[in-house]
Structure formats: C-alpha cells, structure tokens
Structure 1
Amino acid sequence: MGGEFGVLINAAINGNEVKIVETLIKMGANIALRDPMGRSPLYTAATNGCTKILHMLMEAGGELEAKNNNGWTPLNAASNHGHLEVVKLLLEKGADITAASKTGSTPLHKA
C-alpha cells in the first residue's frame, strides 16, 4: 500500500492496533488504497478478524465490495478465515453474499 499513511495503516491493521488505525484515519489516511494484491484496508481487517477496525473503516467510507486481484470481497475473506462475527457485521451492513470471485467462489462456498 503506497501513498501517505498507506504502509502504516496496513501494518496497524495486521497488528490489530485499533488506536493507531483510529489516529491514521483521523489524520486523513486514504482507506481506498490497495496493496499489490488488490487488498484494501477493509479487506485486510476482514481477513484478520479485526471487528473494531472494520467498524471504523466502514464509518470512514470503506468500500464493502472492494475486490482483490482474485475477485474476493471482504466477505469472501472473512468467510474463508472463519471470522463469524465479521461475516455477520458485513452482512448487516449490506455485503453481497452472492459476490463471486474470478473462479466463481462465493462466501457461501467458504462458510
């Protein structure tokens, strides 16, 4: 993730550093940036099961359906990694349970 705060926010999410992510968002971190695999900060938070960070990113305008390079959405990632609380939250916020990856896999296939 490039750009101002891009590497920092990604590292903070990977470490589930809620306060650091909160500070970076307040300082104007671009939460739409993608890493080389196409993963947004919201996608990374869903993958890692970081529920509090996911809430913050959604409140800041993070895209629920942002797909990575393989066509996976945050819901695909959360489902694949068994993060039930994250899956519930994403569904409550309107994530598409039928969103298919490039191989046709949906969150239902991974649940």
Structure 2
Amino acid sequence: MAFTQFTITTPNGITTTTLGGAAQYNNLINLKLLLEQGVDVNETNQHGHTALNIASSLGHLDIVKELLKHGADTEKRDVDLMTPLYVAAGRGHMDIVKVLLDHGADPSVRIVDGATPADIAEYQGFHNIAALLKSRGGQ
C-alpha cells in the first residue's frame, strides 16, 4: 500500500507536512510508520523546513536519529538558508549538534547574512557549542 503525502494546516494557519507534524510533536511511532510507508524524508513545508530541520530546532534527538537513519539531508536549507545544524546550534541542542556533525553536517555553512552555526551559537550564549563547531571546522 502506498502512502499519499499531504499537508496539515493548524488553527494558527501554519502548514506542515505529515512527517513534519510527527517531528514537531516528537511522535516517533508515527514518524517511523510514515517512513516505512515511503514518505519522502526530505519533504518540505511552505517555509522550506524538513522534518529534520523541525526536530533539530525543537531538540527531539530520537526523531533526528531516525530521520538520519532514513537518509535525511543534513544540508537541506529552508527559505532563510538555515540548515538543521544552524537551528540546533542556535537553540542550544548540543546532543543534536554532535549527531548532525557525526553525519556529515557542514559546520562552516553560512546563511543569508553570512552567519555560521558557530556565530549563532556564540550570539545565543552557547559557547560550548560554538567551540565544538569551531573544533570541527566551523568558522
């Protein structure tokens, strides 16, 4: 049985994908079911966010690991050119930053204004994350 992808619009008008919704609400069971049914692990919502970007932003480590196991793209950028590593660094999610780096995420990627993941981590006061990113090739 093939699974049809569709989007969900929440009461506040935000549109997400089925996989993005599972990532947002940290629902590992539904996420696994969707992935087993062949949902595109890199599908995006209206803002260009993938499930990996959403889970990285919210600190959902088990979701991040599952998405990576299914081939999620660590370099997929949203409309603001932010990668999952950038948002995880900016939110202070050290465990997710480590996992993304271990899966090949580029620590020197830059967004529109030229900021790197280390820059946003430093700006937000996550000096330990900034140091890790710089030690792994970030600027």
Q: 1:16 to 1:87 in 2, by over 3 A?
A: same
Instruction: Return the offset for 1:34.
Output: 0.8
Equivalent position of 2:100 in the other structure: 90
Q: Deviations over 1:22-75 (max 9, x none)?
A: 111011111121111111111111111111111111111110100111111100
What is the distance in 2 between the residues matched to 1:11 and 1:95? 23
3-state SS of paired residue (1:91): helix
| Length, aligned pairs only | 109
Equivalent position of 1:52 in the other structure: 62
TM-score, normalised to structure 1, is: 0.92
CA contact (8 A) 2:24 2:51 kept: no
**Structure 1 unmatched ranges of 5 or more:** none
3-state SS of paired residue (1:28): coil
TM-score, normalised to structure 2, is: 0.74
Equivalent position of 2:48 in the other structure: 38
Equivalent position of 1:11 in the other structure: 21
Asked if 1:61 is matched to 2:79, the reply is no
CA contact (8 A) 1:46 1:75 kept: yes
Stretches (4+) displaced over 4 A: none
Bigger RCO (CA 8 Å, 6+ sep): 1
Instruction: Return the offset for 1:5.
Output: 5.0
3-state SS of paired residue (2:99): helix
1:60-79 paired onto structure 2 within 5 Å: 60-79=70-89
Q: Deviations over 1:76-99 (max 9, x none)?
A: 000111111000111111111100
Determine what percentage of the aligned residue pairs are the same residue.
28
CA contact (8 A) 1:47 1:78 kept: yes
- Structure with a larger share of its residues in strand: 2
CA RMSD, 1 decimal: 1.3
